[in-house]
Structure 1
Amino acid sequence: MIRQSRRILLSALVLLLGACSILPKSNPLTVYQLPAAHEATAPVFSGLSTRSLIVFTPYANSFLDADRITVIPSGNRLSVYEGSRWGDQAPVVFRSRLVQDFRKTTDLKAVGNERENLLADYQLRGDLTAFQVEYRNEQPTAVIAFDVSLTDGQSGRVIASHHFSVTEVVDGSQVPEVVQAFGRASTRINHDIIQWVYQVAGK
């Protein structure tokens, strides 16, 4: 009886292992980061050398607040590029590149994010309303839109608010070309944001 039970158990185990071997394998994900902007040899923006800034991770809706590379192929249909993702949630990817560009191109004494507990003179907060590819006239186009407010780091008073948006046509249709378009779009919108901060903070 015991031998028969063992045979049944072994047979079941063999069948289970066989079933596992024919299960479909998930495709590996390719992870991307935003291409960095060209290194600045000297600060492009100056006049705030004694000031510091915190860039907060922007709010985004639940679909954008993810690590998948978002695409709107037509109408209002939301989708993602299969087998590809960002190295972090899209708002974090956006924030990290913005902090990086502030550090590279300005004379600010210090620039950090909300996790660094920096007692800063200014705070940059906002909503990331677009970070996706849209098909415009059948052409894939990277779209980034950011509603931002600059506030006083001590009083919390809103100094100024602004809406920024940029588009960048994708040179092709493959994911690496999409990522390059996002990199170019990020460089452009970050330049506009930094220029705006220097204009309103310097008043």
Structure 2
Amino acid sequence: MRAIRRVLQSLALAATAVGLSACISLLPEEDPSQLYRFDGVPAADAQQAAATDSFGVLRTGGGFVQSASGDRIMTVTGERVAFISGARWVSPASVLFNDAVMRAFDQNTGPARLVTRGEVRRAEYGLRIDVTRFEVVYDQGEKAAPNIVVALRLSLVNMADRTLAGSKLVETTARADDNRVSAIVRAFDEAVAQVTGQTVAWTNGRGA
């Protein structure tokens, strides 16, 4: 009797497993999100003339507005915040932005030279960059081409005596030419290029 009961229990479990697998297989597969990136390379005319006396600048941390720091593209319509469906950054926005800052300094012909931790070169200044806005703003209606807003708070500190060499608020906008993701990404690229170019130019001036 016990043997028959065990067989019946095993059959019931097997039937349940088959039923669950059948249910799972019927669930619709989710379409993969399209991946995008921005380079944010400043225009050549945003760079300064080549300098002979350079100084080292070390990135000393900084924040990135948390709601937009991930790989989702944040939009703002009035008081409502949402994310673009089916579209993501190829890496978190904070990572892509930091890469854009490094590229801007690498292409800089002015005196400021970005120093990474572990380099032999000494850093005369520490630069903190806080990204306070990084968003798609629908300020002309949900179907109109949106505006991209990127805002930073910059602080430059003299590493020798830890005194503040300067601080600055930078904000730029770039209007997309259409309400499509590809157009929005191009506008992000333009806005990031503007703020990184301004960051490099300001650092060149304050450090010099």
What is the TM-score with the length of structure 2 in the denominator? Answer: 0.83
Distance 1:24 1:48 in 2: 62
Partner of 1:27: 31
Query: Which of 177, 196, 199 in structure 2 is aligned with 1:190?
Result: 196
Query: Which of 158, 175, 182 in structure 2 is aligned with 1:169?
Result: 175
Give the counterpart letter for 1:22 in structure 2. Answer: L
Distance 2:36 2:146 in 1: 18
Cα–Cα, structure 1 residues 155 and 90, in superposed 2: closer, same or farther, change >3 Å? farther
Query: Which of 124, 128, 133 in structure 1 is aligned with 2:131?
Result: 128
Partner of 1:154: 160
Point out which structure has higher relative CO (alpha carbons under 8 A, 6+ apart): 2
Tell me, what secondary structure is at the counterpart of 1:136?
coil
Pairing 1:89-100 to 2, within 5 Å after superposition? 89-100=92-103
Cα–Cα, structure 1 residues 194 and 182, in superposed 2: closer, same or farther, change >3 Å? same
Give the counterpart letter for 1:123 in structure 2. Answer: G
Give yes or no for contact 1:57–1:91 (8 Å, CA) kept in 2.
no
Pairing 1:136-147 to 2, within 5 Å after superposition? 136-138=139-141, 139-147=145-153
Tell me, what secondary structure is at the counterpart of 1:3?
helix
Give yes or no for contact 2:78–2:139 (8 Å, CA) kept in 1.
no
Deviation per CA, 1:129-182: give whole Å up to 9, x if none. 111110122330111110111112333221000111111010111212111111
Tell me, what secondary structure is at the counterpart of 2:192?
helix
Whichever of the two has the greater Rg, that structure is: 2
Unpaired segments ≥5 residues, structure 2: none
Partner of 2:65: 61
Give yes or no for contact 2:48–2:201 (8 Å, CA) kept in 1.
no
Deviation per CA, 1:57-97: give whole Å up to 9, x if none. 5313331232211111x212111111222233323322210
Distance 2:154 2:54 in 1: 23
Give yes or no for contact 1:57–1:95 (8 Å, CA) kept in 2.
no
Distance 1:32 1:16 in 2: 36
Runs of 4 or more, structure 1, over 6 Å off, are: none
Q: Percent identity?
A: 23
Give the counterpart letter for 2:71 in structure 1. Answer: D
